[in-house]
């Protein structure tokens, strides 16, 4: 087992759900790494501010992974005094792990499609590999700046990604789960049950803390 590469998935996780968890677990097995880190963001920079605090979203991630050693909640963004830019996270990881350590950032196709709008996105590839996961409803970019970027950096070799520090984009198809946090928030707001879209422990936390507009 290669436990050398640091592989992570960032997100708002508002709340974390089985689409995140299944994706992370399948990638962990596919890459043969020891674990995947899930990094909830502190202050979202790409979307309107969610109503749940960073600590609440982190608590839900912790509950979701508590019985799964292959998945680890990483509080580096929540505990950082900087805003949650991916660039900051990658720079801090690179500094911590050293120049030669493979670092892989997992993102869904929807997130990848918006990459050119992220703060200093072109530097990401100097600091990490990007593992892009197909997500129902989102196509691979084939034109414009991202299409060019993809062509330039694309690899099909998992070995390459595990043995070099950064620089490649690797697409991977997994069990498609069309679950989103948006759908879960809407389900709860409607008064319907969101069970089986995420772990029961997360649902109990939401109920105990009356999140997403729950009143009883
Ligand atoms: P929202 O609906 O609020 O945008 P989300 O479900 O997209 O939430 P995020 O926290 O925004 O969740 O996503 C974090 C990361 O997980 C992103 O890279 C996103 O593409 C990926 N992701 C989320 N849901 C899935 C899924 N069902 N399958 C694959 N990747 C996913
Ligand atoms: Mg999203």
Taking only the tens place, the pLDDT of each residue in 73-87 is 999 999 998 888 999
CATH code at position 13: 3.40.50.620
Nearest ligand, CA 131: 1
Percentage of the chain surpassing pLDDT 90?
A: 82
Q: Are strands 71-73 and 103-108 parallel, antiparallel or unpaired?
A: unpaired
For residue 78, report the distance from its CA to the centre of ligand 2, in Å.
Answer: 18
How many residues does the structure list for the chain? 216
Q: Is 126 left (phi over 0), alpha (psi -120 to 50) or beta?
A: alpha
Confirm whether 78 is domain-assigned.
yes
Q: Give 93's contacts (C-beta < 8 A, 6+ positions apart).
A: 6, 8, 76, 103, 127, 128
Nearest atom within ligand 1 for CA of residue 109: 20
Residue 11: phi and psi, rounded to 5, are 175, 175
pLDDT of residue 4: 84
Closest residue by CA, ligand 1 atom 26: 19
Q: Of 214, 102, 110, which Cα lies nearest the Cα of 164?
A: 102
Range of the domain at 139: 6-208
pLDDT of residue 49: 57
Nearest atom within ligand 1 for CA of residue 182: 2
Q: How many domains does the chain have?
A: 1
Confirm whether 156 is domain-assigned.
yes
Closest residue by CA, ligand 1 atom 19: 108
Please provide the average confidence, as pLDDT, over all residues in the chain: 93
Contact present, 92 and 76 (Cβ < 8 Å): yes
Contact present, 195 and 188 (Cβ < 8 Å): no
pLDDT of residue 1: 43
Q: Are strands 71-73 and 169-172 parallel, antiparallel or unpaired?
A: unpaired
Nearest atom within ligand 1 for CA of residue 19: 27
Confirm whether 213 is domain-assigned.
no
Nearest ligand, CA 175: 1
Pocket test of ligand 1: the residue of 181, 188, 189, 212 to mutate, having most ligand atoms within 8 Å of its CB, is: 181
Confirm whether 92 is domain-assigned.
yes
Confirm whether 216 is domain-assigned.
no
pLDDT in tens, 93-115: 999 999 999 999 999 999 999 99
Higher-confidence position of 4 and 204: 204
pLDDT in tens, 28-58: 999 999 999 999 999 655 556 557 899 999 9
- Token pair, residue 53, equals 């605090």
Q: How sure is the predictor about 3, in pLDDT bands with cuts at 50, 70 and 90?
A: low
Nearest atom within ligand 1 for CA of residue 110: 20
Nearest atom within ligand 1 for CA of residue 134: 29
pLDDT of residue 77: 95
pLDDT in tens, 164-200: 999 999 999 988 899 999 999 999 999 999 999 999 9
Confirm whether 61 is domain-assigned.
yes
70 DSSP 8-state letter: T
Closest residue by CA, ligand 1 atom 8: 181
* Model confidence, pTM: 0.94
Task: Flag whether pLDDT at 24 surpasses 90.
Answer: yes
Please list every protein residue whose CB sits less than 6 Å from any atom of ligand 1. 9, 11-14, 19-20, 23, 107-108, 110-111, 133, 135, 177, 179-182
């Amino acid at each position: 087992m290669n436990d050398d590469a640091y592989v992570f998935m960032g997100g708002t996780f508002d709340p974390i759900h089985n689409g995140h968890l299944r994706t992370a677990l399948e990638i962990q097995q596919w890459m043969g790494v020891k674990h995947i880190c899930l990094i909830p963001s502190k202050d979202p920079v790409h979307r309107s501010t969610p109503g749940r605090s960073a600590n609440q979203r982190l608590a839900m991630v912790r509950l979701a992974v508590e019985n799964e050693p292959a998945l680890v909640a990483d509080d580096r963004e929540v505990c950082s005094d900087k805003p949650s830019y991916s660039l900051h996270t990658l720079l801090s990881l690179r500094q911590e792990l050293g120049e030669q350590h493979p670092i892989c950032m997992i993102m869904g196709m929807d997130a990848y499609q918006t990459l050119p709008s992220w703060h200093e996105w072109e530097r990401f590839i100097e600091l990490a590999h990007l593992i892009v996961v197909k997500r129902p409803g989102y196509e691979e970019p084939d034109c414009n700046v991202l299409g060019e970027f993809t062509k330039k950096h694309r690899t099909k070799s998992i070995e390459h990604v595990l043995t070099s520090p950064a620089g490649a984009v690797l697409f991977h198809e997994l069990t498609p789960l069309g679950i989103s946090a948006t759908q879960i928030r809407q389900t709860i707001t409607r008064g319907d049950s969101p069970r089986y879209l995420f772990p029961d422990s997360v649902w109990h936390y939401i109920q105990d803390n009356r999140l997403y507009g729950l009143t009883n």
